[in-house]
Structure 1
């Protein structure tokens, strides 16, 4: 027979939510850092086409 599941405590729920928000915050920091390095031209780990390369391919 089907038995209802136990209720998750508020502390467990808050812990999971905090972990989820922390992961999102870390990804946002990485994206912002990558964007800044691309704008300054110091990006080493990110390859992207420049306008000069696009014009030479045509």
Structure 2
């Protein structure tokens, strides 16, 4: 017989949400940094395009 799951506590939910937000913030920072370096053409990245 199916039993309803226990409710996740607010603090646990907040911890998980903050971890997710932290990962998203890190990825956004990395992408912004790469875009900035590509726009100034000072990138040492492997997919640097020359015109």
TM-score range, shorter chain: 0.7 to 0.9
Task: Detail structure 1 runs of 4+ shifted over 6 Å in the superposition.
Answer: none
Which residue does the alignment assign to 2:44?
A: 44
Which residue does the alignment assign to 2:27?
A: 27
Q: CA deviation at 1:18?
A: 0.4
More helix by percentage? 1
Cα RMSD for the two superposed structures: 1.3
Count of aligned positions? 51
1:7 partner SS: coil
Structure 1, unaligned runs of 5 or more: 52-58
Structure 2, unaligned runs of 5 or more: none
Please give the TM-score of this superposition, normalised by the length of structure 2.
Answer: 0.86
Q: CA deviation at 1:49?
A: 3.6
Please give the TM-score of this superposition, normalised by the length of structure 1.
Answer: 0.77
